[in-house]
Amino acid sequence: MIRMQIQFTEEQAAELRRRARAGGTSISALVRGAVDNELAQRTSMDDAWERALAAIGSGHGDGSNVSEYHDDYLADAYAED
């Protein structure tokens, strides 16, 4: 492991002490777990964003122009009733 020095506010330090004591663990273990969770979440969000960007333009249209003239098609549909 690599030793790092970080600073917390008084409130953060008090809450970390309380949670570590309640969980029967150390503040270091608590902080490492929080960092792991944050890094995993960021990775999942980055992966989701990459998948979303890759999906753009991946569909092949059926040759219709519905997306371009949707208002006209809607007006025609209501006019038929």
* Annotated domain spans of the chain: 8-55
Q: Mean per-residue pLDDT for 58-66?
A: 68
What's the pTM? 0.55
Give the closest residue to 20 by CA, choosing from 12, 50, 79.
12
Average pLDDT over residues 57-74: 74
Q: Return the structure tokens found at 59.
A: 């569909």
Nearest to residue 34, comparing CAs of 8, 10, 52, 60?
8
**More reliable by pLDDT, 49 or 27:** 27
What confidence score (pLDDT) does residue 69 get? 82
Output the pLDDT for position 52: 81
Cβ 6 vs Cβ 21: under 8 Å: no
Most confident stretch, 30-34, 46-50, 76-80: 30-34
